[in-house]
Amino acid sequence: MNKILAINSGSSSFKYKLFSIPDETVIAEGLGDRIGISGSTFDIKLSDGTKHQEKVALPDQETAVKLLLNWLIKYHCISDLKEIVGVGHRIVNGGEIFPDSALIDKNNLHKIFDLTDYAPLHNPAEGRGIKAFMKLLPGVPQVGVFDTSFHQSLDPVHYLYSVPYEYYDKYKARKYGAHGTSVRYVASRTAELLNRPLKELKLIVCHLGSGASITAVKDGKSFDTSMGFSPLAGITMGTRSGDVDPSLLQFVMKKENITDFDQMIDILNHKSGLLGISGISSDMRDIEDRDDKRSQLAIKIFINRVVRYVGSYLAEMQGADAIVFTAGIGENSADVRAKVMSSLSFIGLKPDLKANQSRGEKIISTPDSKVKALIVPTDEELMIERDVVRLAHLN
């Protein structure tokens, strides 16, 4: 049977999922961790739940890809490499060049590397991952699935910053957004669950994971989104600050004798958000049960920023048909969902608090609720697999 690999190459990790097509069954998944650093590991989880992990040297992406292909044969996920008929790769930034997922040839691979300034940690690692697959599986279609593509439908009113226009003209300095693949999946699944055409719906998708964003979806397209030029903007996240007044950075840098702007950005990316405010952890689970003031404040700020963005998108879209929760916190924290929903009673959202306590895909508002609320677990890898099928004409 034919198989498709969905790949997410991070700067030092490499996540994969193997699907069989056309039935979209997951045959294996796993992670190559600490690529290029000491203490690397590689693991695989098979469809029967069996797991294997080994400490192995993973000096680069190519070694990780070689190992993956060996393991897929060793653990009988495939009997021949020829069974792999396509590989899809998550790419963080496709700039204005990729308004949709695309087949990646040498020319498009160059373009992914050329976009390095827009995602310095991610695009090069993802590009190296594609290069390794091109070498080890020659002739097999490689497809890039860009986190930014779904948001290319934004109007300039939403994607431009109020700074001199020449920065956009010269450098394409603008909002790109992220989580597009997740939002695209969640929005189409929501339409199915509501039994209504996506094109007729106004949705607000709350992707609340360790990275978190809010996206307004109108007529089946991204209308506005909270992340910006980079995934640092928008709502409070696990370790990222979300929106900050840039003058505050100048002030703090002077006070703390920070002379390197990269260091300040690093603080905003890795030491802020839930971690920065609570001083305890970036993980919602760690702070949800604590009653110290700063942990409680971190959660309150998190919820406030979600409500703030949802509120602004309600105003911009003149209402919404549904508010949808997804990703780690959105799918698992009944408390966060309940608090966000209770702030939205003014729009006619009536939570079904019993349904909200359970997990998995479901409607969590009452039948008479004017605005619906749903939990829709995201599945970015499935979206990647489907894009490979679509673009490589495998159906």
- Among all residues, which ones are annotated catalytic? 147
> By CB under 6 A, which span of 154-162, 203-211, 291-299, 307-315 interacts with ligand ADP?
203-211
Contact letters for ligand ADP, residues 206-235 (x by CB under 6 A): ---xxx------------------------
Tell me which residue of 199, 194, 214 sits closest to 372, measured CA to CA: 194
Q: Does 285 bind ligand ADP (CB under 6 A)?
A: yes
381: CB partners within 8 A, 6+ apart = 6, 8, 17, 19, 26, 29
Q: Does 32 bind ligand ADP (CB under 6 A)?
A: no
> By CB under 6 A, which span of 38-46, 160-168, 205-213, 240-248 interacts with ligand ADP?
205-213
The single residue among 28, 112, 284, 320 that binds ligand ADP, judged by CB under 6 A, is 284
Q: Does 299 bind ligand ADP (CB under 6 A)?
A: no
The single residue among 305, 328, 363, 385 that binds ligand ADP, judged by CB under 6 A, is 328
Q: Does 273 bind ligand ADP (CB under 6 A)?
A: no
- Judged by beta carbon, residue 110 or residue 285, the one nearer ligand ADP is 285
Tell me the C-alpha distance between 157 and 175, whole Å.
11
- Judged by beta carbon, residue 174 or residue 240, the one nearer ligand ADP is 240
> By CB under 6 A, which span of 20-28, 52-60, 156-164, 323-331 interacts with ligand ADP?
323-331
> What 3 state SS string does 133-200 have?
HHHHCCCCCEEEEECCHHHHHCCHHHHCCCCCCHHHHHHCCCCCCCCHHHHHHHHHHHHHHHCCCHHH
Joined tokens for residue 118: 């827009």
Q: Does 327 bind ligand ADP (CB under 6 A)?
A: yes
Q: Which residue has the tokens 């699907």?
A: 19
* Rounded (10°) angle between helices 123-136 and 61-74: 50
Tell me which residue of 118, 207, 108 sits closest to 171, measured CA to CA: 118
Contact 320, 348 (CB under 8 A): no
> By CB under 6 A, which span of 93-101, 194-202, 321-329, 362-370 interacts with ligand ADP?
321-329
Instruction: Report the nearest approach of ligand ADP to the CB of residue 282 (Å).
Output: 6
Nearest-5° angle of CA 270, CA 275, CA 279? 125
Residues that bind ligand ADP (CB under 6 A): 209-211, 238, 283-285, 288, 327-329, 332-333
